[in-house]
């Protein structure tokens, strides 16, 4: 065992792993984290705690992860390269490990210009860091864990033992380079991979075949990312505007049909689309788990954590394996 985390145990056992996502609030309200943690607890093996996603200031990933851990939900803390240099990163790894955190997802992070893309003012004038990139961050964590050394070479009396994750956008541009992008993260030391949200399963199968041809499925655990669709509008937006995401027309049509079935009743339209969205999610999960080399799913119900229970049960993935002593 590299970290002894629950997620690592599930993956090692050969059962399909389920991770979910918990977005911390834009306030110092611990109850929001506690509420979401209890909605997810028992229905996933670990939950990612996002690190100021879309560059918006929120409760820090480590603090929210610790609150989740206290509630009995295993967290996957996230660390972006945007906000910290290697000194702050390593200090946070030591602190997080000392608090009992065992999983970490390393990501580049959305550019700070995203923070003002919506209705928020954000901090588009912030200075970013990018002292290291994702591959380098993964390498730093691995060196700390396996060699007991800081990046600079100083020794660690007690090394932080993390199960190291990285993200992968399999269908991003330039698409023929993406399998090598994954390879670099695996070479750097990624134990598990969570992908960008996938709707186009056929194209994902092609990319996974390329990853298998490089032998990557035997060196890392790839969890297919599924973003739970809430509405036809959301699917259209993801298709047109989110990098590396393409949504097949049939899925958008299904959501539109669900919406139209409600007529002028807006509340009903929302309900029917959410139901259809959960159905689509379950189908995508089942299709993803059939792809050779896929070791689990990463289900993101963004600001809709309560949907996870139904989805996981409907997908036949409940109860989750229990490794507690």
- Size of the residue set binding another protein (CB under 8 A): 38
Residue 209 binding another protein, by CB under 8 A: no
Give bridge partners of residue 155 from the DSSP assignment.
149
Among 79, 135, 284, 291, binds another protein (CB under 8 A): 135
If binding is defined by CB under 8 A, does position 60 make contact with another protein?
Answer: no
What secondary structure letter does DSSP report for 167?
E
Dihedral of CA 83/86/88/89: which sign? Answer: positive
Question: Does 114 interact with another protein (rule: CB under 8 A)?
Answer: yes
Strands (E), 143-293: 163-168, 192-197, 221-227
Which of 2, 71, 94, 130 is in the footprint of another protein by CB under 8 A? 130
Window 235 to 254, contacts with another protein (CB under 8 A): 241-244
Q: How far apart are CA 165 and CA 31, in angstroms?
A: 27
In the set 25, 42, 172, 293, which binds another protein (CB under 8 A)? Answer: 172
The residue ranges of DSSP E strands in the chain, in sequence order, are 17-22, 46-49, 75-80, 103-107, 163-168, 192-197, 221-227, 294-300
- Between 81 and 223, CB nearer to another protein: 81
Break the chain down into helix, strand, coil percent, rounded to 5: 45, 15, 40
HSE value, Cβ hemisphere, 13 Å, CA-based, for 108 = 8
Q: Is 113 in the site for another protein (CB under 8 A)?
A: yes
Lay out the site mask for another protein across 173-192 (x = CB under 8 A, - = otherwise): xx--x--xx-xx--xx----
Interface residue list for another protein (CB under 8 A): 81-82, 86, 108-111, 113-114, 128, 130-136, 139-140, 151, 167-169, 172-174, 177, 180-181, 183-184, 187-188, 196, 241-244
């Amino acid at each position: 065992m590299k970290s002894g985390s629950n997620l690592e145990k599930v993956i090692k056992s050969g059962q399909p792993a389920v991770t979910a996502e918990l977005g911390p609030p834009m306030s110092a309200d611990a109850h929001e984290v506690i509420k979401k943690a209890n909605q997810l607890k028992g229905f996933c093996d670990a939950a990612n705690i996002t690190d100021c996603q879309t560059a918006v200031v929120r409760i820090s990933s480590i603090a929210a992860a610790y609150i989740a851990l206290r509630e009995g939900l295993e967290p996957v803390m996230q660390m972006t390269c945007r906000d910290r240099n290697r000194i702050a990163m390593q200090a946070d790894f030591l602190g997080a490990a000392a608090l009992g955190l065992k999983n970490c997802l390393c990501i580049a992070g959305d550019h700070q210009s995203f923070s003002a893309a919506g209705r928020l003012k954000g901090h588009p004038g912030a200075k970013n860091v990018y002292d290291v990139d994702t591959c380098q961050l993964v390498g730093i964590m691995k060196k700390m864990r396996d060699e007991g050394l800081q990046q600079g070479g100083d020794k660690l009396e007690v090394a932080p033992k993390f199960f190291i994750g990285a993200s992968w956008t399999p269908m991003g541009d330039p698409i023929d380079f993406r399998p090598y992008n994954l390879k670099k993260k695996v070479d750097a030391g990624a134990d598990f991979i969570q992908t960008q949200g996938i709707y186009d399963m056929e194209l994902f199968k092609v990319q996974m075949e390329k990853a298998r041809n490089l032998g990557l499925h035997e060196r890392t655990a790839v969890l297919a990312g599924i973003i739970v669709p809430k509405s036809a509008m959301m699917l259209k937006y993801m298709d047109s505007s989110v990098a590396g995401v393409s949504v097949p027309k049939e899925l958008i049509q299904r959501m539109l049909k669900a919406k139209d079935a409600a007529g002028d009743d807006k509340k009903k339209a929302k309900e029917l689309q959410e139901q259809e969205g959960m159905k689509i999610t379950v189908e995508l999960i089942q299709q993803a788990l059939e792809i050779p080399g896929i070791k689990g799913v990463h289900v993101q119900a963004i600001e809709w954590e309560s949907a996870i229970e139904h989805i996981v049960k409907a997908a036949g993935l409940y109860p989750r394996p229990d490794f507690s002593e």
